[in-house]
Amino acid sequence: MSKVNIQEKLQTFNDYWIPRIVGELNRQQVKLVKFKGEFVWHHHEREDELFLVIEGSFEMHYRDKVITLYKGEFIIVPRGVEHKPVAKEEVSVLLFEPKNTLNTGNVVNELTKKTINKI
């Protein structure tokens, strides 16, 4: 048992769209990631995802609407719902999702990370 300092962990990387594992519980992973620009449209067949904004803001695009999230806010994307994160400026996000969740869901491309490092 040890504490995790989110700000210290975020200072260990500067790239975008590459999540890092900072904790695990009950077959769930807590991940940190930085976004900038647009991700890909995708969905997760079996996993819900929680996105919590640590610094900055971003838009979660759905096919029928866009929701803007700011520091201290979170959104849960239900399994099966197509979505695309978009960040005009750098944003730091904490993700909470099942251990087997592929970052690009049903899409496999250059942004897909099959192995995620712990920091």
pLDDT value at 117 more than 90: no
Question: CA dihedral defined by 30, 46, 106, 72, rounded to 10 degrees?
Answer: -40
Percent of the chain residues past pLDDT 90, beyond the cut: 82
Sign of the torsion angle spanned by Cα atoms 5, 10, 13, 16: positive
Using alpha carbons, select from 6, 27, 20, 10 the residue that is nearest to residue 97: 27
Mean pLDDT of the chain, nearest integer: 94
The Cα 53–Cα 21 span in angstroms is: 16
Relative to beta strand 28-38, strand 20-25 is antiparallel
The Cα 46–Cα 43 span in angstroms is: 9
More confident residue, 23 or 112: 23
Instruction: Locate the domains of the chain by residue range.
Output: 6-98
CA 108 to chain centre: 16
Q: What is the pLDDT of residue 104?
A: 76
Using alpha carbons, select from 31, 15, 34 the residue that is nearest to residue 23: 31
Q: Which two tokens stand for residue 70?
A: 């700011």
62 pLDDT band (50/70/90 cuts)? very high
pLDDT in tens, 83-115: 999 999 999 999 999 998 878 788 887 777 878
Percent of the chain residues past pLDDT 70, beyond the cut: 100
Report, at the CATH architecture level, how domain 6-98 is classified.
Answer: Sandwich (2.60)
95 within 8 A of 85, measured Cβ to Cβ: no
